[in-house]
Amino acid sequence: MFCPKCGNEVEQGAMFCPKCGNMLMSQEPVDLTKNMSDSGEQMQNNGNGYGAQPVQQPYQPYQPYQQSVQQTQESYQQPVGKHVEPKKSKAPLIASIIALIVVVLGVAGFCMRSTLAMIINPEEQVKEALKSSAGNLQTSFDTVMSDSSLASTQVVGKTDFTYALHIDRATVNGSDYLSYVKADTLNMHLQMSPEDKVIAGTMGLAQGTGKSSVIEMKIYMDTNNVYFSIPALCSKSFYMKTDDVFRDTGISYSDMFSYMGNAASTSNLSAYSGIIQAVVKDVFGAVDSFINELSYDKLGRVTFNGEQGDVKATQFAITVTEQNVKNFANNVIENVFNDDTLKPYLAFVSGYVTKDTCKNAVTNANLGFGQFVVNVAITNKRELVSVSFDTNSITTYKGSAFKAELKLLGKEKKNDCIYVNIGSDELDMDAMASASGDNVKIDVKVTPKSDNTSNQYLRLYMDAATKSTDASNGSLVINSLTLDGNIDGTSLDVAMSGSMDYKQINALDFKSSDFANAINAARMTASQENEVSSEVIKNISVLKNVLSDDMYNNIYRQMFGSSSIKSFY
């Protein structure tokens, strides 16, 4: 046997060449992978089966003799007793990193799917937001018109209201009117019977909250007369015609009860509720196609500052053309004439009005506005938060300027906080209504526009908390009710606080008969005037509990010409 490297003759069975150290291979496969002990040592028999000795043997895989000598030498020429670690692959690490990236991107994509959708397809998002809002509006209308609401046969019952309003501040043109009075709290206990169109109760003045009134007026109103008396000043009762009292106010006494009483019974609204709901359904049925036809331009991101926090949204300009409006009207007509609920009613006018005549009238109509633009803003969750319109966007408009904006900026529900902004040539108005839990806030500011007077405004603000067990019983705690402004040169700053409770009752405390022998206040005889005046003068000192001493003395001097109130006594 010869060494394949140096050609030196070696003994049969030798593993290494004694001259060059080359590892020798036989023509037969040699299994170098013996069983390893737990200690990592390989046992090799000495040939006779006895005296096996542990020797260190590197593990090497079998390779055929046909490989080149150089490859064989590089693979096996290692020092005896040294373990050679195989090279580790980086593939598992790379795969783990890739898997982690995929998971992170997946989670981020899930969390930001609304934002990504707005970036990828913003037009589709605003369309879906508008359709969703229209659907919610239709649902709300159906709820109102359902048998359990306004269309119900139930009539609102008699209600008892108790008010206590404390005047915290009352300044007019710089004068503090609280300095003129001692009674700074208005107490009211009013009861209403809508079915009878009756209001009855008491109104009084007290010194401080939670106290009984020092002077009180009793009232009873029905469709014929208004009865009243002030027992602390005069034992007589008085009356006036209801129409005479309300004529100058521009309010119809009977109409005040129309929304509470029989006007909401089955005799009118509920009798037509099915027809109304069907028509409204047909109108909203054409909204989706109308929304799809409009043109949309993305304007960019915007942040609205609201009572319940900031709201981020994306703003769009929506262009509405005359043809869009005509298509919408024709689709509504199509829905109405195909509505099975309405067909019995349309049959009565079929000889005069048909679907084709209606659609032809719309198609041939000259609307004359060309096109206009409505701006809307939606959140990444496809919630509509703003709608605004300006007459300047109308192509052919030449009338007075007008603009309006509605913003829905609630935290939990968007309509928990509503803003309305209206602007015209005559005035600007900003209004806000916010509800969070039991808390309610209302803020309305009107700013007239005049060339003669600047800085005019009138603002009403209320911060209150509501509590109720049901629709018939509850309370309103007024934390702050303010009225301030500057109108036509008159400045005022009034602030009140207090409470109001309401509950259902079975009967009113007062009747018209409680004001028996009432005197017609507008037509008193001379004898009646003298009798009343004498009694009022006799009891005039009750006003000392209402007015400040200075105010009381001034009134007394004007009435009786005395320099001192003491001279009367």
Listed in sequence order, the DSSP H helices in 43-121 are: 69-76, 91-111, 113-120
Rounded Cα distance between 399 and 424, Å, is 11
pLDDT, tens digit, for every residue of 36-89?
A: 444 444 444 444 444 444 444 444 444 444 444 444 444 445 444 445 555 555
Question: Phi-psi region for residue 126, left (φ > 0), alpha (ψ -120 to 50) or beta?
Answer: alpha
Domain locations in the chain as residue ranges:
1-82, 539-569
CA 185: distance to chain centroid? 35
The residue ranking higher by pLDDT, 35 or 2, is: 2
427, 449 contact by CB (below 8 A)? yes
Helices (H) and strands (E) in the chain, counts: 12, 21
Rounded Cα distance between 370 and 358, Å, is 21
Query: What is the pLDDT at residue 35?
Result: 45
Of the given ranges (349-353, 395-399, 441-445), which has the lowest mean pLDDT? 349-353
Average pLDDT, the chain: 79
- pLDDT over 80 (residue 551): yes
- Rounded mean pLDDT of 495-506? 92
Rounded Cα distance between 8 and 560, Å, is 154
Rounded Cα distance between 363 and 359, Å, is 6
Query: What is the pLDDT at residue 343?
Result: 85
Rounded Cα distance between 85 and 78, Å, is 12
Rounded Cα distance between 465 and 462, Å, is 10
* pLDDT class of 562 with cuts at 50, 70, 90: low
520, 528 contact by CB (below 8 A)? no
- Asked whether the CA dihedral 219, 504, 163, 216 is positive or negative, the reply is positive
Q: What is the share, in percent, of the chain residues with pLDDT greater than 70?
A: 75
Query: What is the pLDDT at residue 387?
Result: 93
Amino acid at 2: F
Rounded Cα distance between 472 and 239, Å, is 32
* pLDDT class of 23 with cuts at 50, 70, 90: confident
* pLDDT class of 24 with cuts at 50, 70, 90: confident
pLDDT, tens digit, for every residue of 104-148?
A: 555 544 454 454 444 556 778 888 888 888 888 888 777 766 654
Query: What is the pLDDT at residue 62?
Result: 44
Taking alpha carbons only, the member of 38, 49, 268, 39 closest to residue 152 is: 268
Q: Output the CA–CA distances (angstroms, integers) from residue 26 to 56, 63, 80, in the order listed.
A: 22, 12, 19
- Rounded mean pLDDT of 475-483? 93
Query: What is the pLDDT at residue 375?
Result: 94
- pLDDT over 80 (residue 382): yes
SS3 call for 365: coil
Q: Which stretches does DSSP call E strand in 123-197?
A: 158-172, 175-176, 185-193
54, 80 contact by CB (below 8 A)? no
Rounded Cα distance between 220 and 310, Å, is 49
Query: What is the pLDDT at residue 452?
Result: 67
496, 177 contact by CB (below 8 A)? no
pTM of the model: 0.66
Rounded Cα distance between 372 and 298, Å, is 16
Burial class (CB in 10 A: 0-12, 13-18, 19+), 540: middle
pLDDT, tens digit, for every residue of 329-343?
A: 999 999 999 998 888
Query: What is the pLDDT at residue 98?
Result: 61
- pLDDT over 90 (residue 27): no
Query: What is the pLDDT at residue 301?
Result: 92
Rounded Cα distance between 177 and 476, Å, is 27
Rounded Cα distance between 222 and 228, Å, is 12
Residue with the two structure tokens 């969750």: 381
- Rounded mean pLDDT of 384-400? 88
Other C-beta atoms closer than 10 Å to the C-beta of 281 total 17
Of the given ranges (256-270, 366-380, 417-431), which has the lowest mean pLDDT? 256-270
| Length of the chain (residues) | 569
Long-range contacts of residues 486-490, Cβ cutoff 8 Å, at least 24 apart: 486/455, 486/456, 486/457, 487/448, 487/456, 487/457, 487/458, 488/453, 488/456, 489/453, 490/172, 490/173
The residue ranking higher by pLDDT, 126 or 156, is: 126
Amino acid at 431: A
- Rounded mean pLDDT of 239-249? 86
